[in-house]
Chains A and B, each alone.
Chain A
Amino acid sequence: MSYCVNCGVELADSARKCPLCDTPVLNPNILAEGNVEPPFPSHIELPKGARTRYTAVILSLVLLLPNIVCVITNLLLTTHQLWSVYVVATSAIVWFLFLFPFIMKKKHKYWTLAVDAVATAAYIFVFYYYDSPTKGWFWTLAVPLDVAVFLSIAALCAFFSEKRTILHSLIAILAALTTLDIFVCLIVNLYRKSLWVTYVTLILGISCLILLLFFIVADKNYRLRAYLSRKFFF
């Protein structure tokens, strides 16, 4: 039997260090006895993951059924108008956004986001191609906006891959919102071939910027942070 020189507790014969303070056990008598079975097995059994993939496949099949019915009805009964395209496109975007991530065997968030970006663009394209009286806006407005939104989400995903403080999280979200706001303004202005900044962009941009600067200062200044946590303690 060994005792921890630091804690004073008796330890199991198999213990190579104290479980409470990690002080190594140096007892020549115990070591001479050879391998002693530890009080707990080393085998770790992790539980199986949820059956999300299976459920996602079932839901996909359920989603497929009304689409098949719509396409058949459209082709057989109302041949003068291709309305089932909208139903299929809407189902497809729902599938890509909400079910596809669960069907992937190896989950990769950036690939999933890229697929979502392409799917969203394709969904908009369906309406652009079949329904839009004006041409050209898809490539100059919809696609750049789509890319900007998904790039912002990807940047936030990268930032939140590690655990962040509430303050840092707020700064990141506000920075992403401000950048997105500027890009949206640029893209819209390029499309409209004008230099005027809209009120919405200005109000949103300035509000985000002020809050962003305030949180950055609060993050850097310990005294301000302490004052705020004292004042807004709940």
Chain B
Amino acid sequence: MQTRKTNNKTWFKLDNAAKIFPGQNSKTWSNMIRISVNLKEEVEPETLHRAVLSCLPRFPTLDVRIRKGFFWYYFEKNDKNPPIKPDVNNPCVRIRFNENNRFLFRVFYYQNRISLELFHALTDGYGSAVFLSTLTAEYLRLKGYEIPSGKMVLDLNEPPRPEELEDSFAKYATSKVKAKRPALPTYHRTGTKMPKHLSIMTSGYMPVDILKSKAKEHGVTITEYLASVLMLVHMHLQKDENIRQKEVSIQIPVNCRNQFPSETLRNFSVCYSVRLDPNLGEYTFEEILRQVSLYLRYTNNKKHLQSMFAANLGLEKNPVMRLIPLVIKDLGIGISFALTAEHTTTSLFTNLGIVSLPEEMKPFVDSFILMPSPGKVNGGRVGAVSYGNTMTVTFANLYTNTDIEREFFRFLIRQGIPVRIESNKDV
């Protein structure tokens, strides 16, 4: 990260992926990530606030406000303190840059749960999980427990390392070939929209061991298995709904830190789109599993990722693009987002993977929850995360009908995977 100091104000550029998110912001929608941790005892707000304040200096990429330059947005050190609030029924409400003491993340508490909502421009799922894990560890320390650093818990006594602050997209975009993005319209399960700023959040808790053995039976990973279930659900829903069948496309973000030796805490994930065309014939679950797993294994490699980075970075480095004023850039991003983006994907399935914490924290932590922001068109967007033996699959739905969630969890039940459901609906 290139940090600069002018008039004692530290400022730095947004990373390559983050540049798009402020332009997508609207009066009712922002690209957010919500990650929560369920503890085994009730959360004390005052201790939590102290923990947030002591964690922030270790995360300079979160301790920021966003400002408008003439050509680009930039982050600037925020001199205020972030507030913490009791949790609300409507998660992932749009972010506005002058609210919340100008912080781009919100911290909530409710009973045993600490929740964190971040604007995607700050970081991706991995970065948010590291922040929440470190925050939880510090919270437990302030409560008097001995919690060491390690795994996803950062040491608050050491200064932020430069590797954590780098824009890894720029570092690894070495490919000369730029990957093309598919831009065909796809099927969407729509319905009556929820009122503005409201969405339905449905979390399903399931045991990792049973899920893993079920996925292993088919020779696939948990991500491939669950993404295939989501694909199957959409295929079936469309079959009942449309005469003319459209492609079903599931967007699957991948954490690029698994492929590159990056330690960045900023955005470093890109999305693959697995597409299936029902016009080719009816797919069985086995066939969908095969298609999804083969596609991901075939494409998810260093070379392909680098070509995707190069395509994204090419836009940012284009001299004409750079010279266009920010107002026009924002307008262009907004129009492009309204016309393409979610219109080219049916749904999103993001699996953060395993949250690993020090052994000493395990008696205090029950489970994690990850939720992407509800879509603008897509019905059920799914976030998954596992901790210990609990996997949590969470749907963010902007429509009143919950067919996707229902069919998804019913399918898992039929496969012999027990699911416990929690929802913000009708509480």
Per the 8 Å Cβ criterion, residues 371-427 of B in contact with A are 402, 405-406, 409-410, 413-414, 418-427
Report yes or no: A42 in contact with B197, Cβ–Cβ below 8 A.
no
Residues from chain B with Cβ under 8 Å of A203 in the complex: none
Is A20 part of the contact surface with B, judged by Cβ < 8 Å? yes
Residues from chain A with Cβ under 8 Å of B198 in the complex: 44
User: Which one of A3-11, A98-106, A150-158 contacts B?
Assistant: A3-11
Report yes or no: A39 in contact with B422, Cβ–Cβ below 8 A.
yes
Is B202 part of the contact surface with A, judged by Cβ < 8 Å? yes
Residues from chain B with Cβ under 8 Å of A7 in the complex: 406, 409-410, 413
Q: Which of B94, B419, B423 has a CB less than 8 Å from the CB of A47?
A: B94
Is B310 part of the contact surface with A, judged by Cβ < 8 Å? no
Chain B interface helix/strand/loop/mixed: loop
Distance of A50 Cα from B425 Cα, bound (Å): 27
Is A32 part of the contact surface with B, judged by Cβ < 8 Å? no
Residues from chain B with Cβ under 8 Å of A19 in the complex: 200, 202, 402, 405, 421-423, 425-426
Report yes or no: B427 in contact with A38, Cβ–Cβ below 8 A.
yes
Report yes or no: B421 in contact with A10, Cβ–Cβ below 8 A.
yes
Report yes or no: A12 in contact with B421, Cβ–Cβ below 8 A.
yes
Report yes or no: A40 in contact with B426, Cβ–Cβ below 8 A.
no
Question: Which residue, A12, A17, A40, has most C-beta atoms of chain B within 10 A?
Answer: A40
Question: Do A18 and B421 form a contact, CB below 8 Å, given A40-B201, A40-B427?
Answer: yes
Question: Do A10 and B202 form a contact, CB below 8 Å, given A40-B87, A40-B427?
Answer: no
Is A46 part of the contact surface with B, judged by Cβ < 8 Å? yes
Is B323 part of the contact surface with A, judged by Cβ < 8 Å? no
Question: Do A9 and B427 form a contact, CB below 8 Å, given A20-B409, A41-B86, A233-B244?
Answer: no
Residues from chain B with Cβ under 8 Å of A135 in the complex: none
C-beta contact mask, A198-234 vs B, less than 8 Å → 1, else 0? Answer: 0000000000000000000000000000000010010
Report yes or no: A41 in contact with B422, Cβ–Cβ below 8 A.
no
Report yes or no: A47 in contact with B96, Cβ–Cβ below 8 A.
yes
Report yes or no: A39 in contact with B427, Cβ–Cβ below 8 A.
yes
Report yes or no: A40 in contact with B423, Cβ–Cβ below 8 A.
yes
Residue of chain B at shortest CB distance from A12: B422
Distance of A50 Cα from B97 Cα, bound (Å): 11
C-beta contact mask, A9-27 vs B, less than 8 Å → 1, else 0? Answer: 1111011111111000000
Report yes or no: B405 in contact with A50, Cβ–Cβ below 8 A.
no
Report yes or no: A41 in contact with B202, Cβ–Cβ below 8 A.
no
Report yes or no: A46 in contact with B406, Cβ–Cβ below 8 A.
no
Question: Do A21 and B422 form a contact, CB below 8 Å, given A37-B111, A40-B427, A44-B89?
Answer: no
- Using A10-B418, A12-B421, A47-B93 as known contacts, list a sample of 7 further A-B pairs with CB atoms less than 8 Å apart, ordered by residue number in A: A12-B420, A40-B89, A45-B93, A46-B196, A46-B197, A47-B96, A233-B244
* CB pairs A–B below 8 angstroms (21 shown): A9-B410, A9-B419, A10-B418, A17-B426, A20-B405, A20-B406, A21-B406, A38-B427, A39-B422, A39-B423, A39-B424, A40-B422, A40-B424, A41-B86, A41-B87, A41-B88, A43-B88, A44-B88, A44-B90, A47-B197, A233-B244
